[in-house]
Amino acid sequence: MRGKGILGSVLSVLIAVGAMYLTVLGYLWVTQRSHVFRPGIGPLDLINSTVASYMSEETIRTTDGLALTAWYAQAQPGQRTIVYIHGNAGTLGDRHGRVQPYLERGFGLLLVGYRGYGGNPGEPTETGLYEDGRAHLDWLAQQGVKDDQLVLYGESLGAAVATQMAIERRVGALVLEAPFASILLSARARFPMFAFDWLIKDKFANIEKIDKVNAPLFVIHGARDWVTPQRFGRMVFERAREPKSALWLEEAGHNNLVQFGMIEAVMRFLDGLPPPGSKGS
Q: Is residue 5 predicted with pLDDT exceeding 90?
A: no
Mean pLDDT across 198-226:
93
CATH code of the region 40-271: 3.40.50.1820
Rounded Cα distance between 106 and 267, Å, is 12
Q: Is residue 251 predicted with pLDDT exceeding 90?
A: yes
% of the chain with per-residue pLDDT over 70: 84
pLDDT 10s digits, 66-118: 999 999 999 999 999 999 999 999 999 999 999 999 999 999 999 999 999 99
Rounded Cα distance between 98 and 75, Å, is 17
* Cis amide leading into 229 (omega within 30): no
Three-state DSSP string of 4-41 = HHHHHHHHHHHHHHHHHHHHHHHHHHHHHHHHHCEECC
Find which of 35-44, 187-196, 260-269 is predicted with most confidence, using mean pLDDT: 260-269
Q: Is residue 215 predicted with pLDDT exceeding 60?
A: yes
Q: Name the average pLDDT for the chain.
A: 89
Rounded Cα distance between 110 and 99, Å, is 10
Which residues touch 104 (CB under 8 Å, ≥6 apart)? none
Backbone angles phi, psi at 152, to 5 degrees: -85, 125
| pLDDT value at residue 149 | 96
Q: Is residue 22 predicted with pLDDT exceeding 80?
A: no
Q: What is the pTM of this model?
A: 0.90
Which residues touch 247 (CB under 8 Å, ≥6 apart)? 218, 219, 220, 221, 262, 265
Q: Concatenated DSSP letters for 32-76? A: HHHHH-EE------STTSTTTTT-EEEEEE-TTS-EEEEEEEPPP
pLDDT 10s digits, 170-186: 999 999 999 999 988 87
Three-state DSSP string of 209-249 = CHHHCCCCEEEEEECCCCCCCHHHHHHHHHHCCCCEEEEEE
The three-class DSSP label of residue 163 is helix
Rounded Cα distance between 147 and 233, Å, is 26
Enumerate the domain spans of the chain: 1-36, 40-271
